[in-house]
Amino acid sequence: MGKSVDDIDLSARLSREESETRIQAAQRRLVHLRLLTAGLLEPHEVGPGLIVLFEGFDAAGKGGAIRRLTGALDPRHVRVIPISAPSDEEQRHHFLWRFWPHVPGRGEMTVFDRSWYGRLLVERVEERIDHDTVKRSADEIVEFERSLVNDGVTIVKIWLHISDHEQLRRFNDRSKDPLKHWKLTADDWRNRGMRAGYVDALNDTLAWTDHAHARWDVIAAEDKHYARVAVLETVIDRWVHDLERRGIHVPPPRGDDYLH
């Protein structure tokens, strides 16, 4: 408890060479864990489902981190769910309703590119809901996550954090690159002007929803080489810890798998 983005050291760096070496090792370990939990290795026991959810400021590197996380996995063994603003139909239901179809069953894995935390971040900052609704929603999210974990799901929650200066640099780079220009929208620029509100909302979100069943990991993403390694190794650590907590034997890494 008590995490705050104000405490994050954004100076962490890795060389491209070290990053690639550690990513490859982590990806091999991820394949091993994925096959294990899917029941495809001896003794063919299906493990808990896995949710990895990503949040972060625009241009924080969520897409690149997700590609490294899933890049070595068989596409049949993972689903990536991009989350945008709720549709008219979705708004007629409880805000968590639209996420249930994507919750992984036992032996499955889902990656959320943004998540139900939009309720506590976007909807709060945009003043679509009042303070009482925000706090009630935070309590409902904790209960939602607790119920999933108790039913057999591992949840890893990642916030990728970058400075205002670095975000502006990346925005400017995207605006000049014809292959990346599509990533930059008018809403992205508008959201930059509300960064202080998002930081306040984020700090409250971390305080309210970092709980024993699903901890938050806030990762410095100023340097993409460091962030991508940190994401993969964090997922592995959280995953192995939860499997062992449930009494599931996890074979140790083999050879040069998972160097860190």
What are the angstrom distances between the C-alpha of 211 and each of 26, 151, 155, 217? 26, 16, 11, 11
Which residues are CB-neighbours of 105 under 8 A, at least 6 positions away? 49
Q: What is the mean pLDDT of residues 139-158?
A: 98
Tell me the per-residue pLDDT of 175-189, one tens digit each, with 9 for 90 and over. 999 988 898 998 899
Cis bond before residue 43 (omega within 30° of 0)? yes
- Is the confidence at residue 255, as pLDDT, over 70? no
The pLDDT of residue 260: 45
- Is the confidence at residue 122, as pLDDT, over 60? yes
- Is the confidence at residue 197, as pLDDT, over 50? yes
The runs of H, that is alpha helices, within the chain are: 16-37, 62-70, 88-91, 122-125, 131-150, 164-176, 186-192, 195-209, 224-245
Q: What is the mean pLDDT of residues 149-172?
A: 97
Which residues are CB-neighbours of 243 under 8 A, at least 6 positions away? 33, 37, 47, 48, 154, 250
**Domains of the chain, residue spans:** 5-245
- Is the confidence at residue 152, as pLDDT, over 50? yes
CB 161 within 8 A of CB 219: yes
- Max Cα distance, the chain (Å): 54
User: What's the mean per-residue pLDDT of the chain?
Assistant: 95
Q: Considering only CA atoms, which of 97, 90, 84 is closest in space to residue 140?
A: 97
Residue 5 — pLDDT band, cuts 50, 70, 90? confident
- Is the confidence at residue 80, as pLDDT, over 50? yes
Predicted TM-score (pTM) of the model is 0.94
- Is the confidence at residue 139, as pLDDT, over 50? yes
- Is the confidence at residue 1, as pLDDT, over 50? no
CATH code given to domain 5-245: 3.40.50.300
Q: How far apart are CA 17 and CA 1, in angstroms?
A: 35
The pLDDT of residue 102: 98
Residue 70 — pLDDT band, cuts 50, 70, 90? very high
The pLDDT of residue 257: 55
Q: What is the mean pLDDT of residues 8-35?
A: 97
In degrees rounded to 5, what are phi and psi of residue 107?
Answer: 80, 5
Q: What is the mean pLDDT of residues 119-142?
A: 97
CB 59 within 8 A of CB 174: yes
